[in-house]
Homo-oligomer: A and B are copies of this chain.
């Protein structure tokens, strides 16, 4: 429901019409999550249906049926406040395609897991470079966009760390019979002990300490 509440938050600043909402949404996240215009209208329809926004019929221009402007209602404000007050639940995390892929690859025969890990690692590192490059040449941008970019960076770094972790686990748990069927697993593609560029395994020992 990110879109619903995102639009609601934008409408709390000032009333807007559909197309404008799309622009503001993308601007807030620096174009990280392009928003299809169609979703704006369907979401606005649902918001109006639920009484969270109200369409102040065509603007004061004499031309009807053009530029319906939407404004947030009391009900919408309450819903939005609730969203901000409630933390995002991790009890049912969104499906992680990479995690599913690796889990399936491990349990399947004839799949070169090491190659999958390597390919993903390369792709993620490339994205990481793109992110840092974007970040370096961004002086006068919005703070929110910078933080969203940092979020992408932190997540990509975690992904690389996890891939290294998986690789290390795999060579420790199943070095005897490396995928009997299928094409001969090119073991040269995967360094077999702690890789030179790997990060210290600070995770998996719970290095994040609580504070209060």
Q: Which residues of A contact B (CB under 8 A)?
A: 1-3, 5-6, 9-10, 12-13, 28-29, 32-34, 83-109, 111, 116, 119-120, 122-125, 127-128, 132, 135, 142-148, 150-162, 165-166, 169-170, 173-174, 191, 195-199, 203-204, 206-211
The reply to whether B97 and A28 contact each other, CB–CB distance below 8 Å, is no
The reply to whether B162 and A151 contact each other, CB–CB distance below 8 Å, is yes
A13 with B109, Cβ < 8 A, contacts A104-B28, A147-B166 known: yes
Of B101, B151, B199, which is within 8 A of A5 by CB?
Answer: B101
The reply to whether B165 and A150 contact each other, CB–CB distance below 8 Å, is yes
The reply to whether A28 and B122 contact each other, CB–CB distance below 8 Å, is no
The reply to whether A28 and B103 contact each other, CB–CB distance below 8 Å, is yes
Q: How far is the CA of A196 from the CA of B132 in the complex (A)?
A: 27
The reply to whether A132 and B100 contact each other, CB–CB distance below 8 Å, is no
The reply to whether A107 and B144 contact each other, CB–CB distance below 8 Å, is yes
Q: How far is the CA of A9 from the CA of B101 in the complex (A)?
A: 9
The reply to whether B106 and A143 contact each other, CB–CB distance below 8 Å, is yes
The reply to whether A199 and B206 contact each other, CB–CB distance below 8 Å, is no
Q: Shortest distance in angstroms between A167's beta carbon and chain B's nearest beta carbon?
A: 10
Q: How far is the CA of A87 from the CA of B97 in the complex (A)?
A: 10
A12-B108, A154-B162, A195-B211 known; 14 new pairs, CB 8 Å cut-off, are A2-B97, A2-B101, A5-B104, A9-B104, A84-B101, A84-B105, A85-B116, A88-B98, A98-B151, A143-B173, A150-B203, A151-B162, A154-B203, A197-B208
Of B12, B101, B125, B154, which is within 8 A of A165 by CB?
Answer: B154
Of B107, B145, B191, B209, which is within 8 A of A142 by CB?
Answer: B107
